[in-house]
Amino acid sequence: MAQHYVGTWDEFLDGEPKIVDVKGRSVGIYKVSGKLHAILNYCPHQGASLCKGPVTSWVTSPLPGQFVYEQEGEIVRCPWHHWEFDIKTGALVVDHKVRTKTYEVFVETFDLSVEQGNVYIEM
């Protein structure tokens, strides 16, 4: 495996994926709670560009009429059929056996400041 440069830390915004092409693969990189995560831009259901879907929360309902928003900003919803995947793990939220590929993200820092670092993914 090799590390591939995908940008600098300040190019990544919370809730907005940066979609890059690495070795012929489209990858979405997300900043979630100050950490970067990378997933394959491919929905395993029917092949949609997963990272073009909205970033959302997981909604649960403990009682009728009550809604709880969990994992806020950590879920991407497929734009075609609304399958929802955890950005951190690549797992489908309702069936963790179904996944999209994830990649390790590394930040090379300068002067101990992550905000000035170069970002790489391992592939």
Tokens of 90: 């690549």
Q: What is the DSSP letter of 79?
A: T
Interatomic CA distance for residues 14 and 38, integer angstroms: 13
Q: Please count the structural domains in the chain.
A: 1
Task: Quick: pLDDT tens for 93-106.
Answer: 999 999 999 999 99
Whether the CB-CB separation of 54 and 77 falls below 8 Å is answered with: yes
Q: What is the DSSP letter of 12?
A: -
pLDDT at 114: 56
- Domain hosting 30: range is 3-122
Q: Residue 89: give its domain's CATH number.
A: 2.102.10.10
Burial degree of 6 (CB within 10 A; 0-12, 13-18, 19+): buried
pTM flag (> 0.85): yes
